[in-house]
Amino acid sequence: MKLIVGLGNPGLKYAGNRHNIGFMALDRIAEDHGFGPWKSKFQGVISEGRFGSDKVVLLKPETFMNNSGQSVGKAMRFYKLDPQDVIVLHDEIDLAPGKVRVKSGGGHAGHNGLRSMHAHIGDTYQRVRLGVGHPGHKDRVPGYVLHDFAKADQDWLEDVLRGLSDGAAHLAAGDSGKFMNAVALRVNPPRSSTSGKGDSAPDAKATPAKTTPEPDADTSEPRSALQRLVDRFR
């Protein structure tokens, strides 16, 4: 069993914030894969479902970001899980918008949600870092992450959320390679190899047609002047 956690802040006021991309990801996964309705539990809300025969619980802590670990710790103890069974999806200002990275262990890099996770369950859980970009100066970070995504962000954000949902089963199964491939197919789809010039474009590989002499072309051996004169009076 896997516990997949999305970090964010509860309430409509924060719903569209960059800080809430983890919540957004879980909402998309639950909807696309037919998970059960959200219900209150563990100081958060959970949705239960399966990828094949494997049970998965989605958890959105409602303790506010800075105390996310409280909710996750309660869920872990209830389901008797180890930190390695927990996958956390969160915003990452040190990655460009639309970039996604998978990481196990390591520091919290000043992210208050991860700081709380470290305090309550340790640092050996897996995390999916969802790039939202950096405002340019550390003093602007709090206001930046607690602000809604801009309209210009909506296209890449939609692609990322769809990719996360496409790859969710691979993520839960521990196959980060296939998960990242699923995300990449949405964020950076392969380009068509066709020329795009339509049917009128010449085929460079076509074999040139063989030419034949025109019907009135003279291909016989040279004739004498007397023979040509005789031909004129035939």
pLDDT category at 229 given cuts 50, 70, 90 is low
| Annotated catalytic residue 19 | yes
b (16+ CB within 10 A) / e for 99-124: bbebeeeeebeebbbbbbbbebbeee
pLDDT higher than threshold 90 for residue 222:
no
pLDDT category at 50 given cuts 50, 70, 90 is very high
The residue ranking higher by pLDDT, 220 or 143, is: 143
Q: 125 vs 45, 152, 156, CA distance in Å?
A: 20, 33, 27
- Report the predicted TM-score, pTM, of the whole model to 2 decimal places: 0.81
Mean of all residue pLDDT scores within the chain: 87
- All structural domains of the chain, each given as residue ranges with its CATH number in brackets, are 2-148 (3.40.50.1470)
Contact 6, 16 (CB under 8 A): no
- Token representation of residue 100: 């996604």
The predicted model gives 184-198 an average pLDDT of 74
pLDDT higher than threshold 80 for residue 227:
no
3-state secondary structure 121-169: HCCCCEEEEEECCCCCCHHHHHHHHCCECCHHHHHHHHHHHHHHHHCHH
- Per-residue pLDDT tens digits for 193-220: 654 444 444 444 433 444 444 344 443 4
The pLDDT value given to residue 232: 57
pLDDT higher than threshold 70 for residue 143:
yes
The predicted model gives 33-56 an average pLDDT of 97
- Token representation of residue 90: 């969160």
